[in-house]
Amino acid sequence: MGYADLADLAFAGQVAAIVTVRDAVRLKDADAAGVAPGFVRFYVEGDVNALIAGKGGIPASISWIADVPMTSANRPPKLKKAKLILLARPVAGKPGVLQLVSKSAQLPWTPDTEQRLRAILSEANGPSAPPVVTGVGHAFHVAGSIPGEGETQIFLKTADNRPVSLNIQRHPGEDPRWTVSLGEIVDDAAAAPQKDTLLWYRLACALPASLPADALADQQPDDAQAAQADYKLVLDGLGPCGRTAPAN
- State pLDDT tens for residues 154-191: 999 999 999 999 999 999 989 999 999 998 776 666 78
- List strands edge to edge, sheet with 177-181: 133-143, 150-158, 164-170, 177-181
Calculate mean pLDDT across residues 102-116.
Answer: 95
Among 15-19, 118-122, 125-129, the range scoring the smallest mean pLDDT is 125-129
CATH architecture, domain defined by 3-124: Beta Barrel (2.40)
Query: What's the DSSP call for residue 76?
Result: -
Cβ density class 197-221: b for 16+ within 10 Å, e for less: ebbbbbbbbbbeeebeeebbeebee
According to CATH, where is 2.40.50.120 located in the chain? 3-124
pTM, to two decimals: 0.89
Quick one: pLDDT at residue 55?
Answer: 84
SS3 of residue 58 by DSSP: coil
What's the pLDDT tens digit per position in 36-72? 999 999 999 999 999 999 988 899 999 999 999 998 8
| 147 vs 167, residue with greater confidence | 167
What does the alpha-carbon distance between residue 15 and residue 97 come to, in Å, rounded to a whole number? 11
